[in-house]
Amino acid sequence: MEITDVNQYDLRYDLDESWSPAWKPGYEQTVHEVTVFELVTDAGISGVCSTSGFAARMDYRELAELFLVGEDPRRIDRLRERLAPLNLWGPRPWHFEVALWDIVGKDAGKPVYELLGGDGDPVPAYASTGERRDAERRLAYVEDRVDEGFEAVKLRMHADDPAADLDVARRVREAFPDLTLMVDANMGWSVPLAERRQWSFREALAVARELEELGGVAWLEEPLDRHDYRGLARLRGKTDVPIAGGEFNNGLYQFREFVRQESLDVLQPDAVLATGIENATHVAGMATTHGLEFAPHTWNDGLGFAANLQVLAATPARWCEYPLEPPGWVPEARDFLLEDPIRADDGSVKPPDGPGLGVELDWELVREMDQSSGGPDDR
Ligand SMILES: [Mg+2]
């Protein structure tokens, strides 16, 4: 089998309701931008992958073609090596690895997790919020999720002064004493068009100690920069609240550094953003052998979610992240490019069990919405 072509589709989906991601202070999100890549083979099978709006509007179809056309997509180890220089000059190569697995799974007629030795059992999910909200609105949200069967919710903190966010967490804890809480500070990285906020080490420690008092906190996520391996390790040594991170780190060596420097309790690679599918399972192995927890990150879109679900199904991960912040960020908007959005049922998510990534793209919508110059119609 040989890759014969790479197509790029730039998609913009207008949200029914805008929303304000906590990690982009002052920014109101009204569209969901996704770039989809399609690796076409001479066997009549195509593999797909996506990357988020962070990287959208860049045409890197030609770069991808340079590295991939003429190669056998089943030789994933070789192609991972071949794609490594892409990481120096261009986009991260991980999403292309996801598309290779999609091809291999479709060729075998099996979901990727089955090829990796996993099972299709539903994975307990936590409802992952996206906004900083006042206590009344957040309590209403949590009540809805608990009614739906969720047993865990992740709250956002991203203010310079975390007092208001801590107060919301306290109110949620009082109202829902048995609910597992995760807290995400999103201090690990920054995005274009938003001012970067960062806690000092002492601020991060003060928050961690407040969360200790709160109790039932599964982890504090990204309280410091994603490369501050030493700072995270110091913080981890001074608090009982587990420290989590890794969503935007880049490749296996950075996860080795988290382990070597004892920076984290919870390793959170994202197949699309941080490691690819196979290396995410290797991070799971690192977690197991070092007594750490493994909880893959996901946020972007339905294809990215499907890729991370394949990892979840193939590893002993305990929690599936389920991004949900109605009315703006709902399954129909998050997964708009899929025929069927991925939905939680009674607080769990069943990994999609179709061949490859397990999900079907809504090709009619993708072709209609495409704004790139790299689609097949523009040759
Ligand atoms: Mg996060």
How much distance in Å is there from the Cα of 100 to the middle of ligand 1? 26
Spell out which residues have Cβ within 5 A of ligand 1, the ion. 184, 221
Phi, psi of 157 (to 5 degrees): -135, 125
In this predicted structure, what is the pLDDT of residue 54? 54
pLDDT of residue 197: 85
- What average pLDDT does range 253-271 have in this prediction? 98
Q: Which two tokens stand for residue 110?
A: 């099996």
pLDDT of amino acid 55:
56
Which 3-state string (H, E, C) describes 248-295? Answer: CCCCHHHHHHHHHCCCCCEECCCHHHHHCHHHHHHHHHHHHHCCCEEC
62 Cα–ligand 1 center, Å = 31
Residue 88, pLDDT score: 84
> What does pLDDT average to over the chain?
94
Neighbours of 304 (CB within 10 A): 27
The band of 92, judged by pLDDT with boundaries at 50, 70 and 90, is: confident
For residue 289, the CA-to-ligand 1 centroid distance in Å is 24
Q: How far is the CA of 296 from the centre of ligand 1 (A)?
A: 10
pLDDT (mean) for 218-238: 98
Cα angle for residues 276, 223, 163 (degrees, 5° grid): 140
Beta bridge partners of 49: 37
pLDDT computed for residue 51 by the predictor:
87
d(CA 317, CA 123): 8
Q: Is the pLDDT of residue 270 over 90?
A: yes
Q: d(Cα 328, Cα 290) in Å, to the nearest integer?
A: 39
Asked whether the predicted pLDDT for residue 287 surpasses 80, the reply is yes
- State which amino acid sits at residue 313: A
Instruction: Please say if the pLDDT value at position 298 is more than 60.
Output: yes
Q: For helices 94-108 and 302-314, give the axis angle rounded to 10 degrees.
A: 70
Q: What confidence category does residue 374 fall into, taking pLDDT thresholds of 50, 70 and 90? A: low
The mean pLDDT of 298-324, rounded to a whole number, is 97
Predicted confidence (pLDDT) per residue in 120-168, tens digit: 999 999 999 999 999 999 999 999 999 999 999 999 999 888 999 999 9
Q: Is the pLDDT of residue 187 over 60?
A: yes
Tokens encoding 11: 């998609």
Q: How far is the CA of 110 from the centre of ligand 1 (A)?
A: 30
* 236 vs 84, higher pLDDT: 236
- Report yes or no: 95 and 70 within 8 Å, Cβ to Cβ: no
Residue 73 has pLDDT above 80, yes or no: yes
**C-alpha 68 to ligand 1 mean position (Å):** 31
pLDDT tier for residue 97 given thresholds of 50, 70 and 90: very high
Cα(297) to centroid(ligand 1), Å: 7
Please name each of the domains of the chain with its CATH number.
3-109+359-372 (3.30.390.10), 115-349 (3.20.20.120)
Predicted local distance difference test score (pLDDT) of residue 379: 38
- Return the structure tokens found at 255: 């996860």
**What's the pLDDT score for residue 373?**
63
pLDDT: which is higher, 370 or 100? 100
Q: What is the mean pLDDT of residues 85-93?
A: 84
CA 45–ligand 1 middle distance (angstroms) = 34
The average pLDDT across 269-283 equals 97
Return the percentage of the chain with pLDDT > 70, whole number: 97
Res 378: pLDDT = 47
Per the CB < 8 A criterion, the answer to whether 199 and 207 are in contact is yes
| Closest CA relative to residue 243, chosen from 262, 215, 257 | 262
- Ligand 1 midpoint to CA 276 (Å): 17
Question: Ligand 1 centre from 208 Cα, in Å?
Answer: 16
Q: For 86-95, 97-106, 275-284, 370-379, which range has the lowest pLDDT when averaged over its residues?
A: 370-379
52 pLDDT higher than 80 = no
